[in-house]
Amino acid sequence: MKRKNTLGKLLIGGLIITSCQQKSKHQKIISAFENWKNTQLSIGNYQTKNSELGQGFPDEIIVFYTDLNQDENVDAIICFNPILFGGGNALMNAQEKLMIVSKNENYEVDDSTLSNLERTLKSGWIHVTNASNGVISGDYYDYKKKDGRCCPSIHKQVEMNVINKKVSLTFKLK
């Protein structure tokens, strides 16, 4: 009986340690994002909430935790739709997509890889909806000639795989 009790305590202790390690990594990811966000504000790429013009950070930030660089550490995809101060709908379909990837004990923000991949498309845009097991999933949207700005009629599901720090895009068949 004593042996089972010890084994149970070891298992629970191991779960608590693992949970704390995950929480610490999640905190490091959020800290890396906050540092990136502060840098963007300081160089003028984004504006504070009370600005009259420019783009800003929304209240809703979406975080998908997954291992992106195959090092068995949790990484993240952070997505948000920038808000436009001063009115207009120029950012209606915009989504900022950041990869936050572990490097040794720290995390680095990659704000260009997914944006560059999206720029290789002749037209349209990608909206990330999930990330799991190192695969980033989303939706591709584009307009046909007679579509209104509100209503793109082209919609395809996509997957982005990160392998050796390179991202490949695959359109999924329905």
Percent of residues in the chain assigned helix, strand, coil, to nearest 5: 30, 35, 35
Dihedrals φ, ψ of 34, to 5°? -60, -40
Structural element, H or E, at residue 4: helix 2-42
User: How far apart, in whole angstroms, are the C-alpha atoms of residue 82 and residue 116?
Assistant: 18
User: How far apart, in whole angstroms, are the C-alpha atoms of residue 1 and residue 121?
Assistant: 64
**Tokens describing residue 127:** 């909206």
pTM for the whole structure: 0.81
The pLDDT of residue 165: 66
Q: In angstroms, what is the C-alpha Rg of the chain?
A: 20
pLDDT digits (tens, 9 = 90+) for 113-158: 999 899 899 899 999 999 998 899 999 999 999 998 888 999 999 9
pLDDT digits (tens, 9 = 90+) for 29-58: 999 999 999 999 999 999 998 888 899 999
Provide the 10 A C-beta neighbour count for residue 7.
10
CA atoms within 13 A on the CB side of 102: 20
User: Does residue 69 carry a pLDDT above 50?
Assistant: yes
